[in-house]
Structure 1
Amino acid sequence: MKRNYRWRTEDGAGLEHLDLQQREDVIVAEGTVICDGPCAFNYRICCDSGWRVRSVEVHVAGGKSIVLTTDGDGAWRDGDGQALPHLHGCADVDISATPFTNTLPIRRLGGQLGQRTELLMAWISVPDLAVHRAPQAYTRLPDGRYRFEALDSGFEATLEVDERGLVRDYPGLFRRVG
């Protein structure tokens, strides 16, 4: 099953198109993002059937690229196969300029998010592609909403998601338009 989604930034200056394909054994997300300012990038995230991230690639237009792989249990490697111990224990990936990556822990944990759940993310900033260990928390709220917390910065948002766990509204940042 393949579906397409689109988000626009709240200020209207950025746009994302996502092709999401879910097969029996793999989930593949391929997105193209035009950021606010002089930045555009493509990403590809592959997950196993349980929504555990297995690989991520990000390619900035006219610039850098990054490839990361993980065993799905928190051990990460770069594109050359070198271990990335600073990411040990990170369960998911969070790319700074897309709301799609919020779907990963929502789908992977499902009903476990009824309680506030703290997670470690491999956070990729765009366009510099620096990768940091980022503590975050998710809590399921009523009516298809989740509280998202970036624990290292104090940022919080209440995300509205659809029945598939994809963001419809990320207040102040993104709104789904297709």
Structure 2
Amino acid sequence: MEQNIVWTGIDSLSIEKCVLIDKGETIHSKGDLVGNKNNQVYGVEYQVVVDQKWETRFFDITCKVGHKNYAIHGYKLNNQWIIDEQEHPELHDCLDIDISVTPFTNSLPINRLQLKVGESKELAVLYINPIEERFTRVVQRYERLSEKTYHYKNLWSDFESTIEVDSKGVVTHYPKLFNRL
């Protein structure tokens, strides 16, 4: 099964196309986006592979900002993140990634956690900002408010928002940041 998704970015004036392909044992996503933040044009391509539990197994991200290029590649091996061929034991408890420029990666914990309405969960996440060329471990909280609504809070920055998803748990509306077409 293949699903094509298009988001527009509000804050960063971006347009993104994402394709999700369910291959049985894994779900593959491929996204391409272009945007403008603070008068800086950028382009990002990403690939993410998750297993049937929606645990991230692999990612590959390339970003171009002006004349600068940034790439980051990671995969999970024996519960250990290997990023650009280096082990990162401080990230061992991160089952999800969050790529700052796309709402797609918010769909990863939403689908993995399978929260009931009224339930919430804090989780460690590998946060990747390709424009700033950095990644780090952060703690986030998701609370399911209704069948298609989640309250999201990034505990390291106090950023929070109420995210809407479709029946497959894929983000449709992320106030002030992203809208799905």
Same fold (TM over 0.5): yes
Q: Match for residue 77 of structure 1?
A: 82
Distance 1:72 1:22, change over 3 A: farther
Higher strand residue share: 2
Residues 70 and 130, structure 2, Cα contact 8 Å, conserved in 1? no
TM (normalized to structure 2)?
0.90
Give the unaligned 5+ runs of structure 2: none
Cα offset, 1:112, TM superposition: 5.6
- Which runs of no fewer than 5 residues in structure 1 stay unpaired? none
Distance change (3 Å), C-alpha of 1:133 and 1:112: farther
Where do 1:135-150 residues align within 5 Å?
Answer: 135-150=139-154
**Which residue of 2 is the match for residue 41 of structure 1?**
44
1:72 Cα deviation from its structure 2 partner: 7.9
CA distance in 2, matches of 1:48, 1:29: 12
CA offset digits 1:108-148 (Å, max 9, x no partner): 11136741100010000121331100100000012410000
Aligned residues: 175
Cα distance change, pair 113–100 in 1 and its aligned pair in 2 (3 A): farther
1:63 maps to 2:66: no
In structure 2, what residue type is equivalent to 1:56?
A: F
Q: 1:26: Cα distance to partner?
A: 0.9
Aligned equivalents of 1:64, 1:12: Cα separation in 2 = 18
User: In 2 relative to 1, CA 11–68 (structure 1 residues): closer, same or farther, beyond 3 Å?
Assistant: closer
What residue number does 1:170 align with?
174
RMSD of aligned residue pairs (Cα, Å): 1.7
What is the TM-score when the length of structure 1 is the normalising length?
0.92
Contact 1:118 / 1:137 at 8 angstroms: preserved in 2?
yes
| Closer/same/farther in 2, CA of residues 88 and 12 from structure 1, 3 Å limit | closer
Q: Kindly tell me: are residues 109 and 13 of structure 1, through their superposed partners in 2, closer, same or farther at Cα, counting changes over 3 Å?
A: same
Structure 1 runs of 4+ with >6 Å offset: none
Query: Are the equivalent residues in 1 in contact too, given 2:99–2:127 (CA < 8 A)?
Result: yes
